[in-house]
Amino acid sequence: MCPDLLDPEIIKQDFPIFKRRVYGKRLIYLDNAATTQKPRQVIEAMREFYQDYNANIHRGVYRLSVEATEAFENARKKVAKFINAKESEIIFTKNATEALNLVAYSWGLNNLREGDHILLTEMEHHSNIVPWQLISKYTKAKIDYISIDKEGLLVDDEVDRLMEKRPKIVSITHVSNVLGTINNVKKIVEHAHKIGAITVVDAAQSVPHMQVDVQEIGCDFLAFSGHKALGPLGVGVLYGKRDLLEDMNPFLGGGDMISRVWLENSEWNELPWKFEAGTSSIADVIGLGAAVDYLNSIGISRIRKHEIKLTKYALETLSEISDLKIYGTNNLEQRGAVISFNLANIHPHDLATILDEEGIALRAGHHCAMPLMNKLGVAATARASFYLYNAESDVDALVEGLNKARRIFKL
Amino acid sequence: MSSEIYRDMILDYYRHPRNYGSIEDAEIKVQESNPLCGDDIELYIKFDEEKNVKDIKFKGRGCAISVASASLMTELLKGKKLDDLLSFSKKDLLEALGIETLGLNPVRIKCALLPYKALKIGVYSHIGKKLSEEEKHILDYESESQQD
Ligand SMILES: Cc1ncc(COP(=O)(O)O)c(C=O)c1O
């Protein structure tokens, strides 16, 4: 076997869920953009925590708490290294959504006012739209959206035009969870910094699938969710540049985020704990650390290569189905392993029901991107999204299922 | 098997929706949507002097199940009395659709019941009864299935 290519059948053996059957058929999991399956190593790391050293972290003097704290902070080290950040710049949140809200509230609320602009794109997930709409209500700052072209790529001229409004903050997705578009965030960040804007990258769909280096991108903030990267549900990450985080007010108040409290006021804890109020989801953080180890053991660039190959295969085979419309670009360099489509006028929910019967997990709906659905002129799409354990045979099953749907709907 | 739902009858009601359109001077006009899938329906009901359904129409976009359900429901209710509309139940509709026993998952049953929900909200508001959030919730499938 070529060491460069991964063998999804071998990878699958690390994921206990693939042992199960769905309606007597093998599970074909194509909803990785929503959440990913968990390898044994992650489940085991969490089980170990609960079984062997479950305790609350920080300030604990006893052995168990010391071990738990070590494992927790060790996971932070792993995550920091994974995206080339410093440990003090990694804040654990509940998910990417909370990370984006943290920036919107802690930075946005204090730095934006009437007349200011916030720059987003038309392809954002609701989690990178709604927090800004809330902040816009409070501050009267205005939101602009960079439009996309027919191929699902950001329009360069629009970037230039809207940057001339001198937005105070630019928040964009790295990879679209609907179109799969990979945005050139490095270029946009450079542009934004030239005009003095703060930059946020929603990396929920990129960190799990490709090399993401915050130094290389140069962004001020970056957010992602552990559960989309083989990690457990319940933990997300915000990366933020140290000097910005230091100037910001905390997002949530409570235990752990303070150094001293008097009745009148409090002194904030050091970074990153200043932003981690209350007891963290300790087992989940440790599980995320194990997920990072697992991804490193496979190699993120091999994963990306595998996904490019699979996406290429899927785009080719799907385009042979007549009346099937695929959204987004065909340029594999600019596309992640996400394929949204519609088959004739069959509603995506009907498609998903028919495919479900074949053991295929496929998402149908607006994918938390209703403004993008409006732009595409549809109420919903079906979406297949791949990961390291998906094989060409999964794509074949999808194609077969879609042909079955064509027969049922007498197309 | 759940794809059995896509029988000829359902597909026919979906492809050739009965009573499709709007009624300008309808006494009942309601719009309901299912934010999950972006399906939405507008329902129009016009009564005659004896409070019988003189005309009933629907409009909207949705999956085969919700459109077929709306289509069939309007057919069932044409000519019926206001009281019949009040007593019309989920079971009546699901039985007529023939999906009572298919083991369709709750998400999809919700699609089938979107027109039903619109009907109930419309009829109650017509007789001057405003539904509380809780009562609206009971119109949804999940809560009912727990009661059954
Ligand atoms: C691009 C993008 N951003 C943000 C999110 C939000 O992730 P979470 O729901 O884990 O907070 C998602 C998840 O679907 C996403 O795809």
Could you tell me if residue B124 is inside a domain? yes
Using alpha carbons, list the distances in angstroms from residue B72 to A181, A349, B98.
41, 20, 11
Regarding the beta carbon of A97 and ligand 1, being less than 6 Å apart is answered yes
Domain presence at residue B148: no
Cβ of A102 below 6 Å from ligand 1? no
Query: Across the strands, what pairs with A21?
Result: A26
Residues 6+ apart with CB under 8 A from A132: A104, A108, A118, A120, A143, A171
Structure tokens at A398: 């999808």
Regarding whether A290 and A303 lie in a shared domain, the answer is: no
With respect to residue A35, please indicate whether it lies within any of the assigned structural domains: no
Pairing relationship of beta strands A236-240 and A21-22 according to DSSP bridges: unpaired
Atom of ligand 1 nearest to the CA of A368: 14
Q: What is the pLDDT of residue A1?
A: 45
In a domain, B51, yes or no: yes
Residue A82, domain member (yes or no): yes
Same-domain check for residues A338 and A217: no
d(CA A56, CA A282): 8
Structural domain count of chain B: 1
Work out how many domains chain A is built from and give that number: 2
**Cα A168 to Cα A151: distance, rounded to the nearest angstrom:** 28
- Residue B46 placed within a domain: yes
Q: Is residue A37 part of a domain?
A: no
Strand partners, A175: A182
DSSP string, A56-106: --SS--SHHHHHHHHHHHHHHHHHHHHTT--GGGEEEESSHHHHHHHIIII
Identify the closest residue of chain A to B40 by CA–CA distance.
A379
Whether residue A55 lies inside any domain: the answer is: yes
pLDDT score for B49: 93
| Residues A171 and A230 placed together within one structural domain of the fold | yes
Question: Three-state SS across A211-253?
Answer: CCCHHHHCCCEEEEEHHHCCCCCCCEEEEECHHHHHHCCCCCC
- My answer on whether A23 and A108 are in the same domain is no
The yes-or-no verdict on residue B147 having pLDDT over 50 is no
**Would you list which residues of chain A are within 8 Å, Cβ to Cβ, of chain B?**
23, 346-350, 353-354, 356-357, 364-366, 370, 373, 379-380, 404, 408-410
Q: Which residue has the tokens 């950001």?
A: A154
Answer yes or no: are the C-beta atoms of A411 and A321 closer than 8 Å: no
Give one word for A383, left, alpha or beta, with left for phi > 0 and alpha for psi -120 to 50: beta
Are A315 and A336 spatial neighbours (Cβ–Cβ below 8 Å)?
no
Q: Is A22 exposed, middle or buried (0-12, 13-18, 19+ CB in 10 A)?
A: middle
Q: Which of A296, A327, A349 is the last residue of a domain?
A: A296
Calculate the alpha carbon distances from A388 to A94, A172, A401 in Å: 24, 25, 22
Q: Which residues in chain B have Cβ-Cβ distances shorter than 8 Å to A379?
A: 37-39, 61
Index of the ligand 1 atom closest to the CA of residue A97: 11
The residue written with tokens 């708490």 in the block is A65
A236 and A312 together in one domain: no
Q: What is the mean pLDDT of residues B2-8?
A: 81
User: What's the full length of chain A, in residues?
Assistant: 411
Tokens of A251: 């997002």
Note whether residue B119 is domain-resident.
yes
Within a domain: residue A38?
no
Q: Specify if A2 maps to a domain.
A: no
pLDDT score of B148 more than 70 = no
| Residues A91 and A64 grouped into a single domain | yes
| Residues A74 and A210 placed together within one structural domain of the fold | yes
**CA B132 – CA A281 distance, rounded (Å):** 37
Is residue A233 domain-shared with residue A328, that is, in the same domain? no
Q: What is the mean pLDDT of each run of 10 residues along chain A (411 residues)?
A: 81 98 96 98 98 93 96 98 98 98 97 98 98 98 97 97 98 98 98 98 98 98 98 98 96 88 89 94 98 98 98 98 97 97 95 95 93 92 98 98 95 88
Q: Which two tokens stand for residue B16?
A: 């050739």
Tokens of B91: 């079971």
Residue with CA at minimum distance from ligand 1 atom 16:
A177
Considering the domain boundaries, does residue B30 fall inside one? yes
Gap from A370 CA to chain B (nearest CA, Å): 9
Q: What are phi and psi of B32, to 5 degrees?
A: -135, 145
CA A258 to centroid of chain Cα atoms: 29
Rounded to whole angstroms, how far apart are CA atoms A177 and A172? Answer: 12
Q: A245 and A376 share a domain?
A: no
CATH number at residue A382: 3.90.1150.10
Distance CA(A136)–CA(A116), nearest Å, equals 9
Q: Where are the beta strands (DSSP E) in A312-398?
A: 324-326, 338-343, 360-361, 363-365, 381-385
Looking at the structure, do residues A218 and A234 belong to the same domain, yes or no?
Answer: yes
Rounded to the nearest angstrom, the distance between the alpha carbon of A224 and the centre of ligand 1 is: 7
Q: Is residue B25 part of a domain?
A: yes
Nearest to A81 by CA among A89, A72, A71: A89
Asked if residue A308 and residue A289 are part of one domain, the reply reads: no
Chain B partners of A356 at a C-beta cutoff of 8 Å?
2, 105
* Bridge partners (DSSP) listed for residue A101: none
Domain housing A329: 8-30+299-408
In a domain, B9, yes or no: yes
Determine, for residues B3 and A353 on separate chains, whether the beta-carbon distance falls below 8 Å: yes
**Residue A164 within any structural domain of the chain:** yes
For residue A113, the domain's CATH number is 3.40.640.10
If you measure CA to CA, which chain A residue comes closest to B110?
A: A349
Say if ligand 1 is within 6 A of residue A367 CB.
no
What integer is the mean pLDDT of B5-24? 92
Judged against a pLDDT cut of 80, whether residue B143 lies above it is answered with no
Domain termination residue (choose one: A269, A296, A323): A296
ipTM over 0.90: no
* Residue B140 pLDDT level (bands cut at 50, 70, 90): low
Whether the CB of A127 sits within 6 Å of ligand 1:
yes
Give the C-alpha separation, A237 to A95, whole Å. Answer: 7
Which residues, in sequence order, are CB contacts of A217 under 8 Å at separation 6+? Answer: A185, A186, A189, A201
Same domain, A204 and A347: no
CATH code (residue B83): 3.90.1010.10
B86-134 pLDDT, tens digit per residue, is: 999 999 999 999 887 667 788 888 889 999 999 999 999 999 877 777 7
Q: What's the pLDDT score for residue B18? A: 94
Tell which of A261, A277, A296 closes a domain: A296
Nearest ligand 1 atom, CA A367: 14
pLDDT (tens digit per residue) in B45-83 = 999 999 999 999 999 988 999 999 999 999 999 999 999
| Substitution candidate for ligand 1 out of A35, A97, A174 with most atoms within 8 A of CB | A97
